[in-house]
Amino acid sequence: MNLASISYDSQEILRRFANAYRLTYPLLSDVGSVVIKKFGILNPNVPPDVAPFYGMPFPGQYLIGPNGIVREKFFLPDYQTRVSASHVLLKNHGGSVGENATTTQAEELRVTLRLSDTRSFAGQQLGFDVEFALKPGWHIYGGPLPENYRETSLKFDQELVANQSLDFHKPTPVEFEALGETLPVYEGTFKAVGQLLLKRQIKPGEHKLRATLLFQLCSRDTCKIPQSVCFELPIRIDAYVPGAKATAQ
């Protein structure tokens, strides 16, 4: 797997940037934004008379397969919000990416929460996944549900996280004859994949990302009261290194 970056900055600015952040992959200089325009990713919100910012692209990433075909692309409207590369890989390659993980056992349910990175910058978007493993004969619920049941959900503490999303696969509708209801359930082993946006005001240093999982364990003849388990993952927030001063293109 190879990595490269393209920018409208000059070679000198990119050289200083690479040295400041100790980057080892190629930084390609697209002075005049020729390639950026051909790819259709030029940011039109910056007018031509606003130097030196005219020519910048929307921030984003392409994931290109060995055959040269684009498998995924991630682009954002705000240059201050960036998707981490490990988030892209986590989404496409699952558990092969991300060593920042913690596991807990809650009776018949084992849950592993994995974050795509151990370090990041304030305002960056990270990926995460949640792996569920239920003992045979037990299930937890998807949605929508009647009010007397608990839908499975995970929520990060808002101290560090601005917003988040988590995508589950479609639950299986199961008919419970004794209850006279058909309910959406998850059984066995499965995984949900999500993303979170770190707040921009986080100070550099060592932090803890905290999350709470809500769920309800049930079998065909037993339904336990709703439960919650808490997770804590370390994350280092790096300080921005001042880059080279931009010059007019």
pLDDT tens, position by position, 24-39: 889 999 988 999 998 8
Residues 200, 206: Cα–Cα separation, whole Å:
15
Give me the chain's average pLDDT, please: 85
CB atoms within 10 A of CB 179: 11
Confidence (pLDDT) at 131: 95
What single DSSP character describes residue 89? H
CA distance 238 to 21: 11
Compare 77 and 141 and report the one with higher pLDDT: 141
Mean pLDDT of 40-62: 81
2-9 own/partner pairs: CB under 8 Å, 24+ apart: 3/85, 4/28, 6/30, 6/35, 6/36, 6/57, 7/57, 8/32, 8/33, 8/36, 8/55, 8/56, 8/57, 8/249, 9/246
Q: How confident is the model at residue 93 (pLDDT cuts 50, 70, 90)?
A: low
- State the pLDDT at residue 55: 84
What would the two tokens of residue 141 be? 């619920």
Write down the pLDDT at residue 52.
Answer: 75
Amino acid letter for position 227: Q
**Does residue 245 carry a pLDDT above 80?**
no
Coil vs helix vs strand at 93: helix
Q: pLDDT higher for 136 or 77?
A: 136
pLDDT at 235 over 50: yes
Tell me what pLDDT residue 137 has: 94
Q: 107: alpha, beta or left, given left = phi > 0 and alpha = psi -120 to 50?
A: left
Give residue 191's pLDDT: 94
Answer whether 140's CB lies under 8 Å from 224's CB. Answer: no
- pLDDT value of residue 73: 77
Locate tokens 């937890």: which residue?
Answer: 140
Residue whose pair of structure tokens reads 């910058």 in the numeric block: 121
Q: What is the DSSP string of 59-88?
A: PEEEEE-TTS-EEEEEE-S-TT-EE-HHHH
pLDDT tens digit sequence for 169-197: 999 999 988 778 899 999 999 999 998 99
pLDDT in tens, 94-141: 544 557 899 999 999 999 999 988 888 888 888 899 999 999 999 999
CATH code, 94-237: 2.60.40.1250
Domain boundaries, the chain: 5-58, 94-237
Token pair belonging to 16: 């200083």
